[in-house]
Structure 1
Amino acid sequence: MRPASRSPTSAYSSRGRSPNDPHHSRGRSPPQAAPFSVRPFLVRSGPGREGVRRVAFHVRVRRDELRRAYEQGSAEARYFLDVQTGDILPIFVDIIERGGNPEDARRIASGVNVRYFLIPHKPSHEGYEEMEEFIGTVRDKRLRQALLDAIEGKGAFRRFREVLVSYPVDEERWLDEREARVREELDSWLERTGIELDET
């Protein structure tokens, strides 16, 4: 995945178009564009036998691209997965609110949960709580105090990581736990939306 730009029209990847979305309406005119908003997820997989997942979309996109979007996403920067092309599309809320690129916003808004699916992101307060929880498991008293000092004020996450660099065992444990949380969140999102990744 390439680094995100400030252009809301740029895509993280460029691929050929996959087969038409099976949920695309037939014989009807496209829905009217609506003001940009992020509506709640709709489960597209439909009812099925208990314990059996029904896949609605096979999407050619790599998991590391989804992870990058998950980690870079925020209340100001939303990332959408286009299930037809596998592209990851950024929408910057401040640009939209200033009236920039309304066509892109309307296009995505009209296809939310049909073609464009909002990739989740971790709210900043949850990231802070995870650091606090981790600090509570640190046995080294000096490291624990250094981490507590590091998470005070702005730039807490950067300082937290800078302290951990000097403690490779604890740093590896933090990274492993963080990786597991991200994977769990993305797996849950893929399950809810009926998306299956094709990473070939």
Structure 2
Amino acid sequence: MLDPGRVDLAALADALDDRSPETHWYLDPVSGAVAGHSDDDKPPADWLEIDSVTSRESYRDMADFTAGVQHRRAASLLDRAIDGRGAFRRFKNTLFEFPEVRDQWYRFRDARSRRRAVDWLAGTGLITEADAEQLRARHPDPDPSNDDVPAAVAADLAALYGPRLRQVLLFGPWASGEGTVESAIDLLVVLDDHATTILPWEELRAMDDVLWQHTERTGLTISVLPVGQHELARPGDPTVIRARAEAVRLR
């Protein structure tokens, strides 16, 4: 048996993903080394040839990833991109419009590729199934959720307002754990109103860049209601009353 720790899974994954006809990839069953050879440069006879994965498997990765994308516009465009001939090229081009989603794809693709590398090792009998299970568990599909977005927005608002910011309260579907890409992130932003009256439209203009950056990054709608401390203490607005009842404090 080959010691799994001696195998460079990234190198093996790259070899499995390489469908170029010029290079044939091999693995040394003793050392775990992975090397490419041309037709004129054969490896030692006991090395195992690494057959590349099919385009069908690569397409399945794209489809599975697209199904989990939570950026609404990116998900819609990617879904169209992978339909029909030229899917791989269109998928790649579409990702370049969404850097955050592109980074998620790289992490997703790497996890899938490494698990396939583990499957290949187990399929050749070089490692035990028990070792394979442990290795697969180290490379799960990354979580595509946007659960961290409300906290990230709150952190940026804290940087924007400094000591004027008293609280950021999350309410609505995202506070109850039922938030989806179709529902807005509802935030009640509580500001110090001892020295100045809170004018909601002015505050919304002040927050505009922060909110837009997060919307552009995630595709999620972020709805903010700025209020003063006094209004929060004695609310008259039904939205503020509901927000107080449902609130999850972020800051």
Provide TM-score, normalisation by structure 2: 0.40
Q: More helix by proportion, 1 or 2?
A: 2
Larger Cα Rg: Structure 1 or Structure 2?
A: 2
Provide TM-score, normalisation by structure 1: 0.48
